[in-house]
Amino acid sequence: MQVQPYLFFDGRCEEAIRFYEKALGAKVEVLMRNSDSPEPHPPGMLPPGSENKVMHATVKIGDSTVFMSDGMCSGAVKFEGFSLSLDFTKDEDVDRYFNILVEGGEANMPPGKTFFASRFAMVKDQFGMHWMLIVPAQM
């Protein structure tokens, strides 16, 4: 069994993918648009003009795979109740990626030392995605 995150950007998926490519070195493995669907969408499922929106994308971030989509293109992105965690081996990487992800977003917890990490930070990016960045402490 495997847990696979599937993120719905409600119309901003391609923009998010391009940002994560630059910010995190993400690599797109699959990108399928609504117009690429082998079967027609049920009537009224997608708003007019969303034919070129992302129906499904498979994106590698580091060693992890994340699925992404524009979903129903409602424009109401809500990433609540979870965060994606980026684990590093060097403290300076936490600072570097925090500074990249916080642009246009907000700092929830600036980088610092904690009892469980030599460096830890929390940030909400410009798409509303919550991230935790950590170099775990030696226990």
CATH code for the part of the protein at 84-136: 3.30.720.110
Same fold, 6-69 and 84-136: yes
**Could you tell me if 108 and 129 are in contact, meaning their C-beta atoms sit under 8 angstroms apart?**
no
Mean pLDDT, residues 12-31 = 97
Q: How far is CA 39 from the centre of its chain?
A: 27
Three-state DSSP state, 89? coil
Global model pTM greater than 0.85: yes
Does residue 72 carry a pLDDT above 90? Answer: no
CATH topology of domain 6-69: 3.30.720
If pLDDT is split at 50, 70 and 90, which confidence band does 30 have? very high
Q: How many Å apart are CA 104 and CA 102, to the nearest integer?
A: 6
**Percent of the chain topping pLDDT 90:** 81
> Residue 73's pLDDT is what?
80
Would you kindly state where each structural domain of the chain is located, as residue ranges? 6-69, 84-136
Does residue 47 carry a pLDDT above 80? Answer: yes
**Could you tell me if 61 and 24 are in contact, meaning their C-beta atoms sit under 8 angstroms apart?**
yes
Mean of pLDDT over the chain: 94
Q: How many Å apart are CA 94 and CA 121, to the nearest integer?
A: 7
Three-state DSSP state, 39? coil
How many other CB atoms are found less than 10 A from the CB of residue 106?
Answer: 11
Q: How many Å apart are CA 134 and CA 118, to the nearest integer?
A: 8
- E strand or H helix that includes residue 74: none
Out of 40-49, 63-72, 126-135, which region has the weakest mean confidence (pLDDT)? 40-49
If pLDDT is split at 50, 70 and 90, which confidence band does 138 have? confident
Does residue 108 carry a pLDDT above 80? Answer: yes
